[in-house]
Amino acid sequence: KIRRILLAQGQTVGRYRVARLMRALRLRGRPYPRKNPPQARGTHSSAKNLLNQEVQAPAPHQRWVSDITDIRTGEGWLYLAAIRDLYSRRMVTGSTAHYLLGHPGV
């Protein structure tokens, strides 16, 4: 928004310069509330429940479950994805990705 305002006033600035100056001045954008955005409504469907509530696995590596969640931190959003084996209840694998506030794609 700041860059667009400056461009409208005739200033020639890039987004990285604005981001660098904001960091130097310790300015941060205000995160908007995370609600169901209009573009996401109806575009995603849930996966079918193939377990049909049978959460007891007969042997290791027969039934896995997964989940993705986001955790708000002071530096941005941390996304966590995990896969768990239902037989041993141990985590098979997991992954995290960080999304910094004001820096999309980082």
Instruction: Report the 10 Å Cβ neighbour count for 18.
Output: 20
Mean residue pLDDT of the chain comes to 81
**pLDDT above 70 as % of the chain:** 79
- The helix/strand count (H/E) of the chain reads as 2, 3
pLDDT higher than 80, residue 20:
yes
pLDDT higher than 90, residue 41:
no
Q: Report the residue count for the chain.
A: 106
Query: Can you read off the two tokens belonging to residue 75?
Result: 């530096």
Side by side, the strands of the sheet bearing 64-73 are: 64-73, 76-85, 91-100
> How is 38-69 classified by DSSP, letter by letter?
GGGTTT--PPP-SSTT----SSTTS-EEEEEE
Q: What is the mean pLDDT of residues 12-19?
A: 91
Q: What is the mean pLDDT of residues 64-91?
A: 88
